[in-house]
Structure 1
Amino acid sequence: MKDQQREKNLKKGRNVQTFNIIYDSIEVGVSLVAGFSSGSSALIGWGLDSVVEVISGSTLWWRLNGELKDISEEKVKKRERITLFVIALSFLLISIFITYDSVLKLINKETPDWSTLGLTILLVSLVVNPFLIWYKYKYGKRLNSKELIADSKDTFVCLYQTIAVLGGILAVHFLDWWWADPAAALLIVPYALKEGWEAYNNGKKVKAQ
């Protein structure tokens, strides 16, 4: 019989993921519209990061829901492993796209237009993401869930990128630093690669258990 406290934490963790998926889906739509209309590589990269967060968040919801439905421990471990590998792949795809798009913008010296829509969603995310990070980490610790903790780091990457993108947009608009937008996007790559590698290694450890 499932421990009642663990079941309670699983439900709360699943609820956090549900909210995360809904919010990130909104973030995707708004940021990509703003990014493509303004020509901002940082906003586009940030929007694609949110696409990846929706995918990894949905995979993690699937893993937590599986345990709540009393599937076997073997199947839970399988879902945990898949989730960690999805998170790792997510970080890799983010890094590749951001690097390609940003370097291209730097070479072509492309300057993005001002985007009030982009600025608005960035400011909202500055408020929302710290709460998501806290609750994901909190329930990741309570459940001893490596994948939930890894997902909290994924959201931290999004928060870090939000600050960088916001700084880049403001620098382009107020200081005429044409290079600030793609440079801001590139700041996220080293951290994303590091966390992706860590999630991948954690996935291998789960497989070996």
Structure 2
Amino acid sequence: MENQREKYLKKARKVQVYNIIYDTIEVIVSLIAGFISGSAALIGWGLDSVIEVVSASTLWWRLHGEIKGKDDEQVKKREKITLYVIATSFLIVSAFITYDSISKLIAQNPPSWSTAGIIILVISLVVNPILIWYKHRYGKKLDSKELIADSKDTFVCLYQTIAVLGGLLAVRYLDWWWADPVAAFLIVPYALKEGWEAFQNGRKISYDPNK
């Protein structure tokens, strides 16, 4: 009979599959819309979604390993790798957003309106809180630092979604040309903080590399 932990592992793995599918849609729509409209915030948000796909895929790999009966040392190895992937993801996103936002502020080039971008942002305001809730829930049930870290990664995406949407609306209706790059830049301090925490948690995990 399936034990309780295995049951939660399978549910958490399924959440990661849904996460990968939805974020792939986000990537395609937001990057196309971002490059067409010239929106730094949309492009940064789309690249953050790329990192989300990588992070969710790595976490799926870790969960799948435990479900398939990998021993404790192999599971710890996958946990450590997953946390390092999440930490690196935050760093890459922060670096790109910082560069792109500063470039757009210097150029003073406001983005054009993007209906497709607005639609995917609004949909994400509904989808991401659901993903966050389930990731955090199963992270607590499984005592999984990497699942909880991934839920924070998705929260970063939600926070950025709100900032990007607000920035695009401000450009459109208030004529604030600077709102788009500033909206993108607001995410950087939080992303760096969470990335550092994921890195520190990864360092705490030790395993036998020979197994």
**Fold shared per TM-score above 0.5:** yes
Alignment partner, residue 5 of structure 2? 6
What corresponds to 1:77 in structure 2?
Answer: 76
How many residue pairs get matched?
Answer: 208
TM-score (norm 2): 0.97
Distance 2:110 2:24 in 1: 27
Shift of 1:207: 2.6
Determine if the alignment matches structure 1 residue 57 to structure 2 residue 42: no
Structure 1 stretches lacking a partner, 5+ long: none
Question: What is the alpha-carbon root mean square deviation over aligned residues?
Answer: 1.2
Alpha-carbon spacing, 1:197–1:73, altered in 2? closer, same or farther (3 Å): same
Deviation at 1:3, TM superposition (A): 6.9
Following the alignment from structure 2 to structure 1, what is the Cα–Cα distance between the partners of residues 144 and 112?
A: 42
Q: What do residues 72-128 of structure 1 show as CA deviations (whole Å, max 9, x unaligned)? A: 110000000000000000000000000000000000101000000000000000000
Unaligned runs of 5+ in 2: none
Aligned pair 1:197/2:184, yes or no? no
In the alignment, the residues of structure 2 paired with residue 186 and residue 207 of structure 1 have an alpha-carbon distance, to the nearest angstrom, of: 35
If the length of structure 1 is used for normalisation, what is the TM-score? 0.98
Aligned ranges for residues 161-200 of structure 1 at < 5 Å?
161-200=160-199
CA displacement, residues 32-80 of structure 1 (integer Å, 9 cap, x when unaligned):
0000000000000000000000000000000000000001110000000
Residue 125 of structure 2 corresponds to: 126
2:6 paired with 1:30: no
State the match for 1:146 in structure 2.
145
Matching of residues 87-106 of structure 1 within 5 Å? 87-106=86-105
Instruction: State the match for 2:39 in structure 1.
Output: 40
CA distance in 2, matches of 1:139, 1:104: 40
Summarize deviations over 1:158-200 as a string: whole Å, max 9, x none.
Answer: 0000000000000000000000000000000000000000000
Using the alignment, how far apart are the partners of 1:134 and 1:196 within structure 2? 20
Q: Distance in 2 between matches of 1:106 and 1:30?
A: 24
C-alpha distance in 2 between matches for 1:92 and 1:8: 33
